[in-house]
């Protein structure tokens, strides 16, 4: 009797991945390549999205029925996208191994970007932890779950630098600063890949979206990017480069153009920079149909031209589009391209498969009962730690927070107060129904006796019917906690917004509650920085909660009641108004800088709003009170082979122990090209016990002073510098030094 899939999965005996050098995998790949027909080679360059790749105009000629299976059996598929159930993965892999002529294993990839089965906070929230170690540990745990689903690769990290909160995908990013982005990017890769894949629980990562996808004009999704090479190199490339240096397995091209050419067929980006300058030897995959979309960009006449341009530019693997499958063979036969171009791409693909151990065990990562590996206590504990460190306290007047347990009568109001819809976009296998709402979290911490709840209104729409009930319960309470913001579906891919307001009638509800003259705490849920000007003036305290995933309510309750001390810092500036966008901390000075960022005539400013944001990059409050003093540098002039040591004393003058993210910025007083007013160069998360002080030391070297000069060389010119250390990008404790090579 034939075994069921489950029984077959149960009988699988996993073989360890052999740790092989690049030279060994290259040799193995070359040997296998010799046995392959041209069609089989091209098959390795295609990523299938079953059941059918539904791209208009690209119906596969083998027709409707079961054509995914047919393609696999014919050796025309290299990998599979977004199939996440183990049984289907097993079935498809079995077809490849047993039915295709050479039995080359498929790899399976999906987007597990901030959690797999356990929902971690959205990436922008985690970036606010300023904690690479936390990111690395989280990604190890995420990889552990991914590695029990049957998947081999996660399409993460996204390291697109972002300065425009209108873009819905800022929620996937590490925010606006290239140094922070790079540090976190490398941590993601280390966490997922854990070195050499010989661990059964590591998965391959993919650095995306190459290149500069976060700079879409107007924050409009998939829109044009137009950027100088200097801006690209200085600010946008470092995050991607950090992934390459950390050994990321793959790169994904972006939907946008760079310098007039779609990134997916951009030779300057893919060959000159990635392969030649960075010596990157992993594989490059397109984004979802981004190659076929060159027809709509109007840079390719048809699918044949798409294939030609992409292979010449260095694209190894097509996601969903079938232009390679359909046209590469004829391009070789007609002599328009050399087969060696295809060989080069296929070698990348095969090497990857050898590297991650698919030839040792094609059923790697497949388990009969995978659920037992998911949402383990240690994974949930880490998700809670991540949530705690992601929350940013934006305001806390008169120590409104923390709340006093079982003393105050609390009115908890708002559409996100008892909502579990907080997985956030790209939630992969995490489930909203397993997320703890704020109300449940508060009740499980302090009981429900002193908490009254009313929804008040929906996130969207103009229904005010429930205002009265909310006002009534608020009247009976000592303090109002208002939980509002965006719906989680309002950020993520294809979720650009032209307004950055809190939607619906939520602001009206807030105003009605404010009129009661009670202490008001606002908790903002969102996938992007929103306009919080009214709240900054009218709330006594504000917590930016993002979307925190499974442990949402537990983490927020713990912070609200003072069991945990908030320590998150903004990875992205919060504008007063959308009209300021892009507003980011490391702007240039201009020839007519405004005084203090305020209005003055004929200076670079607005007549109706300051230049600076409402809340700047790096900003976030704590229940502790940190004072910075004694900023010392060990030399006034620093030479090429030296290091500069910077030390600062931080006193926690409060009775509450807390973690502080100490930030070091430099400012170059003048240079051969304009440089930002400030540049983040170091940060350190440190615990400072109550009423204690600590001396924190940083060292910087000449590479930290380097900048792309007029000749497009990144060098530290002999110049004068300022150094600032403090708790956000406005830090004012400073010292001066000079660099003399
Ligand atoms: C997104 C990528 C993602 C891919 C596969 C695309 O639409 O831009 O980030 O990895 O889909 O799901």
Residue-wise pLDDT for 681-694, tens only, equals: 999 999 999 999 99
Q: What H or E segment, with its residue span, contains residue 283?
A: strand 283-285
What pLDDT sits at residue 287? 98
pLDDT given at position 51: 59
**Ligand 1 contact via 111 beta carbon (within 6 Å):** yes
What atom of ligand 1 comes closest to residue 206's alpha carbon? 10
Dist. CA 512–CA 127, nearest whole Å: 34
pLDDT of residue 65: 43
Mean pLDDT, rounded, for 137-153: 97
pLDDT in tens, 500-524: 999 999 999 999 999 999 999 999 9
For ligand 1, atom 8: residue with the closest CA: 287
Which residue, chain included where needed, has tokens 């530019």? 313
- pLDDT for the residue 595: 85
pLDDT, residue 380, reads 98
Q: Specify the long-range contacts of residues 671-677, CB closer than 8 Å, at least 24 apart.
A: 671/707, 671/709, 671/717, 671/719, 672/709, 672/710, 672/717, 673/230, 673/707, 673/708, 673/709, 673/710, 674/588, 674/589, 675/588, 675/707, 676/586, 676/587, 676/588, 677/585, 677/586, 677/587, 677/588, 677/589
**pLDDT reading at 548 higher than 50:** yes
Band of pLDDT at residue 53, cut at 50, 70 and 90: very low
Q: What would the pLDDT profile of 420-468 be if each residue is shown by its tens digit?
A: 999 999 999 999 999 999 999 999 999 999 999 999 999 999 999 999 9
Q: Whose CA is nearest to atom 11 of ligand 1?
A: 288
Q: How many CB atoms lie within 10 A of CB 676?
A: 20
Q: pLDDT at residue 57 above 50?
A: no
Which backbone phi and psi does 412 adopt, to 5 degrees? -100, 120
Give this prediction's pTM.
0.97
For 347-374, what is the mean pLDDT?
A: 97
What was the pLDDT predicted at 59? 43
Q: How far is the CA of 285 from the centre of ligand 1 (A)?
A: 11
Is 131 tagged catalytic? no
Q: Which of 55, 84, 111 gets mutated to test ligand 1 (max ligand atoms within 8 A of its CB)?
A: 111
Ligand 1 in contact with 540 (CB < 6 A)? no
Question: Alpha helix (H) ranges present in 412-564?
Answer: 438-446, 467-475, 506-514, 533-538, 552-560
* DSSP letters for 194-263: TTTS-STT--EEEEEEETTGGG-GGG-TT------HHHIIIIIHHHHHHHHHTT-SEEEE-SSEETTEEG
Q: Is 80 exceeded by the pLDDT of residue 645?
A: yes
Position 640 confidence tier, pLDDT thresholds 50, 70, 90: confident
Residue 574 Cβ contacting ligand 1 at under 6 Å: no
The pLDDT assigned to 67 comes to: 73
**In a 3-state reduction of DSSP, which class is residue 70?**
helix
Say if residue 56's pLDDT is above 70: no
Residue 58, pLDDT > 50, answer: no
Q: Are the CB atoms for 156 and 192 separated by under 8 Å?
A: yes
Question: Across the chain, how many H-helices and E-strands are there?
Answer: 22, 26
Q: How far is the CA of 723 from the centre of ligand 1 (A)?
A: 40
Q: For ligand 1, what atom is nearest to the CA of residue 110?
A: 12
Main-chain dihedrals φ then ψ at residue 40, nearest 5 degrees: -65, -35
Of all residues in the chain, what percent carry a pLDDT higher than 90? 94
Report pLDDT for 66: 46
pLDDT value at residue 60: 43
Q: Measured from the CB, is residue 155 less than 6 Å from ligand 1?
A: yes
Mutate to test the pocket of ligand 1, among 155, 262, 292 (most ligand atoms within 8 A of CB): 155
Minimum-distance ligand 1 atom for the alpha carbon of 254: 8
Q: Which of 79, 493, 495 most suits a substitution to test ligand 1, by most atoms within 8 Å of the C-beta? A: 493
Percentage with pLDDT > 70 across the chain: 98
How does pLDDT run across 324-352, given as a tens digit for each residue? Answer: 999 999 999 999 999 999 999 999 999 99
Tell me the pLDDT of the chain averaged across its residues: 96
**What tens digit of pLDDT does each residue of 597-630 get?**
999 999 999 999 999 999 999 999 999 999 999 9
CB 484 within 8 A of CB 444: no
Question: Does the pLDDT at position 734 exceed 80?
Answer: yes
């Amino acid at each position: 009797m034939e075994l069921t899939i489950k029984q077959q999965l149960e009988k699988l005996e996993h073989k360890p991945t052999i740790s092989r050098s690049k030279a060994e995998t290259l040799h193995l790949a070359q040997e296998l390549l010799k046995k392959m027909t041209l069609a089989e080679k091209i098959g390795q360059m295609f990523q299938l999205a079953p059941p059918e790749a539904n791209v208009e105009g690209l119906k596969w000629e083998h027709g409707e029925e079961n054509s995914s299976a047919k393609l696999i059996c014919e050796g025309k598929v290299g990998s599979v996208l977004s199939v996440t159930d183990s049984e289907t993965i097993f079935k498809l892999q079995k077809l490849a191994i047993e039915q295709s002529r050479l039995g080359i294993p498929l790899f399976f990839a999906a987007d597990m970007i901030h959690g797999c089965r356990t929902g971690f906070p959205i990436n922008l929230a985690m970036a606010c932890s300023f904690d690479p170690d936390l990111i690395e540990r989280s990604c190890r745990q995420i990889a552990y779950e991914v590695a029990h689903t049957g998947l081999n690769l996660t399409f993460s990290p996204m390291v697109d630098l972002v300065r425009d909160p209108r873009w819905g995908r800022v929620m996937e990013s590490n925010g606006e600063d290239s140094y922070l982005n790079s540090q976190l990017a490398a941590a993601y890769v280390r966490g997922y890949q854990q070195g050499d894949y010989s661990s059964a629980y590591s998965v391959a990562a993919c650095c995306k979206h190459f290149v500069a996808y976060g700079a879409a004009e107007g924050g409009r999704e998939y829109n044009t990017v137009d950027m100088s090479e200097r801006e690209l190199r200085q600010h946008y490339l470092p995050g991607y480069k950090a992934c390459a240096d950390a050994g990321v397995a793959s790169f994904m091209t972006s939907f946008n153009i760079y310098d007039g050419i779609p990134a997916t067929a951009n030779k300057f980006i893919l060959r000159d920079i990635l392969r030649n300058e960075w010596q990157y030897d992993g594989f490059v995959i397109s984004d979802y149909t981004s190659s076929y979309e060159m027809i709509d960009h109007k840079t390719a006449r048809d699918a044949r031209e798409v294939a030609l341009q992409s292979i010449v530019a260095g694209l190894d693997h097509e996601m969903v589009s079938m232009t390679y499958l359909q046209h590469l063979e004829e391009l070789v036969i007609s002599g328009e391209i050399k087969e060696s171009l295809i060989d080069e791409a296929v070698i990348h693909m095969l090497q990857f498969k050898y590297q991650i151990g698919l030839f040792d065990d094609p059923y790697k990562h497949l388990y009969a009962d995978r659920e037992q590996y998911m949402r383990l206590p240690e994974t949930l504990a880490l998700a809670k730690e991540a949530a705690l460190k992601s929350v940013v306290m934006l305001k806390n007047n008169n120590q409104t927070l923390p709340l006093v347990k079982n003393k105050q009568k609390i009115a908890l109001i708002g559409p996100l107060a008892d909502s579990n819809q907080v997985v956030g976009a790209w939630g992969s296998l995490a489930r909203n129904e397993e997320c703890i709402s704020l109300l449940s979290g508060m009740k499980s911490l302090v009981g429900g006796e002193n908490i009254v709840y009313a929804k008040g209104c929906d996130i969207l729409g103009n229904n005010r019917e429930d205002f009265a009930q909310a006002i009534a319960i608020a009247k009976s309470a000592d303090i109002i906690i208002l939980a509002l913001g965006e719906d989680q579906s309002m950020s993520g891919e294809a979720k650009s917004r032209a307004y950055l307001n809190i939607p619906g009638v939520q602001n009206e509800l807030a105003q009605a509650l404010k009129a009661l003259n009670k202490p008001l705490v606002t908790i903002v849920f969102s996938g992007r920085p929103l306009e919080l000007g009214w709240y900054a003036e009218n709330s006594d305290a504000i917590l930016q909660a993002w979307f925190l995933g499974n442990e949402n309510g537990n983490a927020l309750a713990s912070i609200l009641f003072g069991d945990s001390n908030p320590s998150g810092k903004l990875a992205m500036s919060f504008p007063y108004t959308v009209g300021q966008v892009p507003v980011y901390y490391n702007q240039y000075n201009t020839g007519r800088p405004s005084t203090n960022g305020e209005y003055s005539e004929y200076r670079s400013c607005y007549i109706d709003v300051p230049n600076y944001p409402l809340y700047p990059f790096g900003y976030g409050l704590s229940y502790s009170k940190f004072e910075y003093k004694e900023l010392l540098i060990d030399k006034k002039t620093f030479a090429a082979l030296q290091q500069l040591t910077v030390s600062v004393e931080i006193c926690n003058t409060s009775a509450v122990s807390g973690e502080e993210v100490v930030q070091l910025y430099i400012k170059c007083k003048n240079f051969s090209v304009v440089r930002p007013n400030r540049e983040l160069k170091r940060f350190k998360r440190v615990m400072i016990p109550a009423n204690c002080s600590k001396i924190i030391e940083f060292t910087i070297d000449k590479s930290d002073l380097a900048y792309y000069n007029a000749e497009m060389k990144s060098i530290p010119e002999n110049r004068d510098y300022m150094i600032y250390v403090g708790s956000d990008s406005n830090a004012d404790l400073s010292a001066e030094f000079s660099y003399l090579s």
